Chain A
């Protein structure tokens, strides 16, 4: 199915001009509007943005797990060079849970409450025929140990409600990694967790990535989490990519006014109100995706907006800031100018 020559030359994941829309009672809305990004093997790419920016819909489009009211309108999603949108449903299903896996924000709702942990994890092998019944138990126990669940023999027969949020997220990770996927998509996997548990889960993901060489797409709203784990960052706003680049370029030399605004809106360690420091405010709110906006979607909130921004939607273009390793912003007037 996958040409071995392609496997070396193509990126692990390549999303090209993806457009995903939702049918709503008030019309069709484009949740994802021309998003392109790529992920290399063993690399972590963070998709960052606020609610409604299209980050989760991008992730679900790649997985092929969109709800019924949504569909990919156009664009391409290539996995190891193969356009997965062109695959027959059965083949695409075969990729999910095997070469492509996903973990979600709410481990509480993603697990089946009436099945034991062991049973649920073993299902992953059963569905893909990757282990027999007897063999499965051993494999499940090994997996649970790998994600650092203590006392696995006992945990195997427990139900989700008997576990903490952090433990459940580990079980989700174990299920996702069961068939050693090439790409793991993690949608806000630590948002519902306490900070010490978040640190454990991030540490675990990095460790497993080193071991297995998995590519990771990590969706988050938290730029500090991005700083912890990302190799590359894609910042989204209003369904579009507004900036992308290496983690150092985007966080240290942010070019797009939105990225800069977000970074300045959070206090940095050591900053207090006593220094007279005031946090940056991004005025207004995210515009509704149902509203047709000409030009740049950020212009109404942008401190740098000019006449051109109201008519002419900026395309993603190389910027002068930073190490210029694919550092690009969709802005007519990025910080430091265009390259």
Chain B
């Protein structure tokens, strides 16, 4: 098999929790806990889970925005931590990010042209005619017109702003784009416009995506493989079709059952999953899902289940004692 384009290998990201006058560190919060995922060329990896599951932190770590506490981030097989300055620069060009909120992620004091010039400046690339041509290409690539270059962010609609966010990510011709909830701030009729654009761009530019989302219908539609996260860990991962057709982990099953179904005749599932996601700082011992799991057993309260292969086809991985 070929080397994955981007790979997280047992990656953990921790944040210090500081309290009191002296801001002493009282605990460490492990937002991403030993996560291993990979993206292959041209593929779309979906990362799903509810608030606080660590999906955004994982995404940011994958573009190098958060340094991992442990584990390895590899880009085309090379360990990011061992790269020299030039290697890191190249890596940040190869792996780009689109943020959730197109209102917060564009500088309101800069015109669209300046926003799109920034990646070139940051990487010390030549300006002039060539850059201008490239920037015009970029706005057209995302379905806008060159006249938008002279506008301010506030003059654009949410959908147009998100297109600029995408154009900025594509400016330096990356190989992988990490998309963190790129549609969730948009209205329904605009979401499909942007989603179709992402599908087209992937095909045209042979891009790979890491698509972080809580919207499972869109993940099923877009992704090739899916990793489900709960409290910082991957609890299940499989090819998308397999995961949606036969989820194995009790959390994935509950999550899919909770998704509202657009068919008004569908038999509604009975009791929904009870309780809330516990906070990371008071995560339960053993399997972190044991406080809500309908199939919990004694061993689930003692031992953390390892993520392991439950079906070599795919492969389909699960972290549950009962699988």
Contacts and interface: CB of A to CB of B under 8 A. Distances in A.
A280 B261 CA distance: 18
B258 A279 contact: no
Given A227-B264, A248-B264, A285-B157, A199 B258 contact: yes
A251 interface: yes
Interface string A224-240: 11111010000000000
Interface in A252-286: 252, 261-263, 265-273, 277-283, 285-286
A221 interface: yes
Given A199-B272, A278-B199, A285-B157, A248 B255 contact: no
B258 A251 contact: no
A261 B188 CA distance: 10
B69 interface: no
Nearest to A164: B276
A167 B276 contact: yes
- Chain B contact residues (Cβ within 8 angstroms of A): what range? 35 or more
A227 B50 contact: no
A200 B159 CA distance: 31
A273 B192 contact: no
A271 B157 CA distance: 28
A194 B157 contact: no
B265 A285 contact: no
Interface string B204-233: 000000000010111011100000000000
Contacts of A51: 187
Interface residues of A, number: 51
A281 B272 contact: no
Nearest to A277: B221
Contacts of A272: 220-222, 240-241
B191 to A, nearest CB: 7
Contacts, number: 133
A267 B221 contact: yes
B217 A50 contact: no
A216 B276 CA distance: 26
A219 interface: no
B181 to A, nearest CB: 13
Nearest to A283: B193
B188 A266 contact: yes
A268 B192 contact: no
A106 interface: no
Contact of A199 (B187, B241, B257): B257
Contacts of A268: 217, 262-263
B277 interface: yes
B51 A266 contact: no
B120 interface: no
A263 B262 contact: yes
Given A223-B262, A228-B260, A269 B217 contact: yes
B178 to A, nearest CB: 19
A105 interface: no
B277 A194 contact: yes
B258 to A, nearest CB: 4
Interface of A: 50-51, 150, 164-167, 194-200, 202-203, 221-228, 230, 247-248, 251-252, 261-263, 265-273, 277-283, 285-286, 301
Interface of B: 50-51, 157, 159, 187-193, 195-196, 199, 214, 216-218, 220-222, 240-241, 244, 254-255, 257-266, 268, 271-277
26 contacts: A150-B275, A165-B51, A166-B276, A195-B216, A195-B258, A198-B260, A200-B273, A203-B272, A222-B260, A223-B188, A224-B217, A224-B259, A224-B260, A227-B262, A227-B264, A227-B266, A228-B260, A228-B261, A248-B264, A269-B261, A273-B221, A277-B221, A278-B196, A279-B221, A281-B196, A285-B190
